[in-house]
Amino acid sequence: MKTASVRMVQHNLAKVLNWVQEGEEVEVTRRHVVVAKIVSCQKEREDVQHPDFLGRARRIWGSQPKGMPLSAAVCRDREERA
């Protein structure tokens, strides 16, 4: 784990972000006291499993939703207002 002062981070953010991108965790210090920790978010994103929303919708309603298409409803409402 690397350590960087607030001032170093302010003046060398690109360098610090390169460290993080390479997998390093960076502790940010102010007057030798750790105030923040910068970690990569790539590891978390790889493990995320999203639900199969489309599959669930098809199981509930089939391949086509019942009723009129939204575009037809909008056109009908516009004609009624005119």
* Span 53-69, pLDDT tens digits: 999 988 988 887 778 88
Structure tokens at 21: 């991108």
Position of tokens 């939204």? 70
pLDDT in the model for residue 66 = 77
Is residue 4 scored above 90 in pLDDT? yes
Spell out where 1-82 has E strands. 2-5, 26-30, 33-38
d(CA 42, CA 36): 19
Residues 6+ apart with CB under 8 A from 57: none
**Residues of the chain above pLDDT 90, percent:** 63
Domains along the sequence of the chain with CATH: 1-82 (3.40.1620.10)
> Considering the entire predicted model, what is its pTM?
0.51
Q: Helices in 4-63 by DSSP H: which ranges?
A: 6-11, 13-21, 42-46, 53-61
pLDDT in the model for residue 50 = 87
Cα-trace Rg, the chain: 26
